[in-house]
Amino acid sequence: MPMKTGTQYIESLKKLKPKVYCFGEKVESVVDYPLFKPHIHAAAMTYELAHKPEFQEIMTATSHLIGERVNRFTHIHQSTEDLVKKVRMMRLLGQRTGTCFQRCVGLDALNGIYVTSYDIDQKYGSEYHERFKDFLRYVQQNDLMSAGAMSDPKGDRSLRPHEQEDPDVYLRVVERQSDGIIVRGAKAHITGSINSHEIITMPTRAMGPEDKDYALSFSVPVDTEGITLIFGRQTNDTRRLESELDAGNPKYGIVGGEALIIFNDVFVPWERVFMCGEHEFALELVETFAGYHRSNYGGCKVGLADVVIGASAWIAESNGIERASNIRNTLTEMVNLAETCWSCALACSYEGYQTPSGAYTINPLLANVEKLNITRFTYEWMRLAQDIAGGIIITLPSERDYEHPEIGKYIDKYFKGKKGFSTLDRIRMYRLIENMAVGAGLPEAMQGAGSPTAMKIMIGRGANIDRKKDLAKVIAGIDEDPYFKGIAQVKEDKAKAKV
């Protein structure tokens, strides 16, 4: 069975030697570096839960390529039911990790490239799709984690890629050879990249003919020569190096763990190139990938909401105020917000459709509505969690003070709540809320999978305002109402506005 366990995933990372920097030093072993461990644990859960019978229906699927049961994170969606199971998987993992488990970006890259490479081949008679299917078989058979790398650094945002003063601020081809291409540039903010096996790149925006060297998609192992990863900081990240209690979510961390990936004249063999110069398909790939990715957020972030709602309710109980009407109202509002986003996630999946490649994709309008709601509602339910928890989440003394032989007893005494709740457990829960509601997870919900503006553009494009105007003109009596004639039994020429 081609599915790794969590432990096997972590062991497989040890065989890779990526060039990673963090805090100004080169990381010798990604797996053993303390700052990275929670991120690796969160990603490992995507492997581990696939082996649990209670999650198998959601976490696994049967591959249409290799005919075997595979981890759903490597699966190409074959039906709307697959799309629904995908968002169910996201919610499940959000609940079980309380953070970003990183692997969905690669899943969405696999599906986005599957769809687009097929369309490129239909136009040009190229071989990208077959190459990609070979790569996909390899990914499925080895249960690989792929980092989906889309965002270029972008430089001056008012200029197109080929107009930039520094041509490397968008990843590009610098040389085409008989056996492959040489690429140079960077991808920024790439989730899970230090602990992935492969990096799959995609263009980040629409491209014109002059940008053809930037219309590029390929995959390379993370430790390919010429690749350097610089890990990004997060709020309170070094707490996990100091103590367990203060980290809030010591097992799984906070957000996904992002890195700047530098491609310094990296060789990519042709069999790993899935787009190279077909600039008119850059936007299709961006939108297809982004649609899949935005549809995930009503799953994973709602899973996180489940955790933070539970934490808020527990804190209220430990304070003895769980029956207060304002607390119950606040918790109800948090659930309402979260389930609204979940409804969007289900809706865009059930309303998905088959693409010419055979793969299914989500309803793009609904997926963008979903993600736009996430950019707002996540802040709101986290604000409400702060409201219930109180200011203590930013004033609590440290674990070292709590364990101090002289002053620890005061913390234990004065931060005690209702009988039956230990101070230690209360501190754990407050720290969890601090981790989730105050930290880097908030801007991640805002900017991950694209900014709110990107969603509004897509919503505007799919809104079909002209049809809405037509509907209004009929109801207002400006245009003929073809169906009203039947029920009102009026002559055709009178069916317009006169009732």
Partner 1 sequence: MRIAVKYCGNCNPEINSPRIIGQWMETLKDDEITFGPEGKTPADLLIIICGCRKGCVDRQEVRAMGRQVILIKGRWMGGLSLAENELGHQLIQRVESMRGALRRNAK
- Determine how β-strand 273-276 pairs with β-strand 216-221: antiparallel
In the set 48, 60, 100, 370, the catalytic residue is 100
Smallest distance, partner 1 to C-beta of residue 351, A = 5
97-105, 157-165, 290-298, 353-361 -> range binding partner 1 (CB under 8 A): 353-361
3-state secondary structure (DSSP) of residue 218: strand
Beta-carbon count within 10 A of 60 CB: 23
Q: Please state, in angstroms and rounded to a whole number, the distance separating the CA atoms of residues 42 and 432.
A: 16
Beta-carbon count within 10 A of 102 CB: 29
For residue 154, count CB atoms less than 10 angstroms from its CB and return exposed for 0-12, middle for 13-18, buried for 19 or more: middle
State which of positions 425-484 bind partner 1 (CB under 8 A).
464, 467
Closest to partner 1 by CB, 213 vs 287, is 287
Contact (Cβ atoms closer than 8 angstroms) between residue 26 and residue 19 = yes
Amino acid at 20: V
352 lines the binding site for partner 1 (CB under 8 A): yes
In the set 22, 104, 276, 344, the catalytic residue is 104
Closest to partner 1 by CB, 38 vs 352, is 352
List the beta bridge partners of residue 148: 200
Active site residue 361: no
Active site residue 118: no
Active site residue 348: no
Beta-carbon count within 10 A of 99 CB: 32
The DSSP line for 209-266 is GGGGGG-EEEEEETT-TTEEEEEPP-TTTTHHHH-SGGGSSTTT-SS--EEEEEEEEE
125 lines the binding site for partner 1 (CB under 8 A): no
190-198, 309-317, 352-360, 386-394 -> range binding partner 1 (CB under 8 A): 352-360
356 lines the binding site for partner 1 (CB under 8 A): yes
Closest to partner 1 by CB, 230 vs 457, is 457
Smallest distance, partner 1 to C-beta of residue 102, A = 30
Smallest distance, partner 1 to C-beta of residue 299, A = 20
Kindly tell me which residue out of 81, 339, 351, 480 binds partner 1, with binding defined by CB under 8 A: 351
State which of positions 359-388 bind partner 1 (CB under 8 A).
363
Closest to partner 1 by CB, 269 vs 460, is 460
User: Would you state the structure tokens that stand for residue 195, as one six-digit string?
Assistant: 């602990």
Contact (Cβ atoms closer than 8 angstroms) between residue 142 and residue 2 = yes
For residue 187, count CB atoms less than 10 angstroms from its CB and return exposed for 0-12, middle for 13-18, buried for 19 or more: buried
Alpha-carbon distances of 430 from 79, 274, 418, rounded to whole Å: 42, 47, 15
Phi-psi region of 155 (alpha: psi -120 to 50; beta: other; left: phi over 0): left
Active site residue 104: yes
In the set 191, 201, 330, 361, the catalytic residue is 191
Active site residue 191: yes
Closest to partner 1 by CB, 285 vs 385, is 285
What is the total count of residues that contact partner 1 (CB under 8 A)? 9
174-182, 201-209, 346-354, 422-430 -> range binding partner 1 (CB under 8 A): 346-354
State which of positions 95-124 bind partner 1 (CB under 8 A).
122
Q: Please state, in angstroms and rounded to a whole number, the distance separating the CA atoms of residues 78 and 436.
A: 34
Active site residue 341: no
Kindly tell me which residue out of 32, 353, 409, 498 binds partner 1, with binding defined by CB under 8 A: 353
In the set 300, 341, 344, 348, the catalytic residue is 300
152-160, 203-211, 348-356, 397-405 -> range binding partner 1 (CB under 8 A): 348-356
Alpha-carbon distances of 27 from 17, 53, 230, 262, rounded to whole Å: 10, 37, 10, 16
Closest to partner 1 by CB, 254 vs 347, is 347
Angle, CA 201 vertex, CA 200 and CA 202 arms, to 5° = 130
List the beta bridge partners of residue 78: none
Cite the active site residues.
100, 104, 191, 258, 293, 297, 300, 444
Q: Which residues bind partner 1 (CB under 8 A)?
A: 122, 351-354, 356, 363, 464, 467
